Amino acid sequence: MDCIFCKIVHKEIASEIIYEDKNFIAFKDINPIAPFHILIIPKEHVPPLDQIELHDKELIGEMILTAKKIAENQATLQSGYRLIFNVGRDAGQTVDHLHLHLLGGKKLLWL
Ligand code: 5GP
Ligand code: ZN
């Protein structure tokens, strides 16, 4: 499958990985919109949120807890951070591999 995030998981495309465990990998967004901007993704190819089903609920929960764990270890995020799933065209979703944005490092505006 021609998926850019699968290629990042398999290290076929270089990225700045800041966290990795058995199920997830987190790396810096190539086009950051905040001083701290990473993407948390499952290592296996999982489709975007609009195609997620009830049996994926554990995966989604683990993904959010992984984001929380990463954030707790970043000094720059102690004053706050934001988690975002972009879903569909109007939200600007461009990659079809489930990913959670973790943003922070400045006071974030609301849209
Ligand atoms: P989306 O808009 O689909 O929610 O987010 C996809 C994100 O992936 C974008 O913020 C984009 O900058 C990032 N991205 C796309 N291609 C690459 C890449 O090859 N490497 C990295 N590190 N980030 C990427
Ligand atoms: Zn993929």
Let me know if residue 70 belongs to a domain.
Answer: yes
Range of the domain at 100: 4-104
Say which CATH number the domain at 53 has: 3.30.428.10
C-alpha span between 75 and 22 (Å, rounded): 24
Q: Is residue 74 part of a domain?
A: yes
CB 82 within 8 A of CB 65: no
Say if 91 falls within a structural domain.
yes
Pocket of ligand 1 (CB under 6 A): 4, 13, 15, 27-31, 39, 86, 92-95
Structure tokens at 34: 């905040």
pLDDT by residue, tens only, the chain of 111 residues: 799 999 999 999 999 999 999 999 999 999 999 999 999 999 999 999 999 999 999 999 999 999 999 999 999 999 999 999 999 999 999 999 999 999 999 999 997
Q: Ligand 1 mean position to 95 CA, how many Å?
A: 7
Q: Which residues are catalytic?
A: 99
Sign of the dihedral through C-alpha 54, 51, 58, 100:
negative
> What is the pLDDT at residue 8?
98
Query: 């499952």: which residue's tokens?
Result: 42
- Give distance in angstroms: CA of 74 to centre of ligand 2: 27
Total number of domains in the chain: 1
Is residue 81 in some structural domain?
A: yes
Contact 24, 63 (CB under 8 A): yes
What local confidence, expressed as pLDDT, does residue 111 receive?
A: 79
Residue 93 maps to a domain: yes
Q: Whose CA is nearest to atom 15 of ligand 1?
A: 30
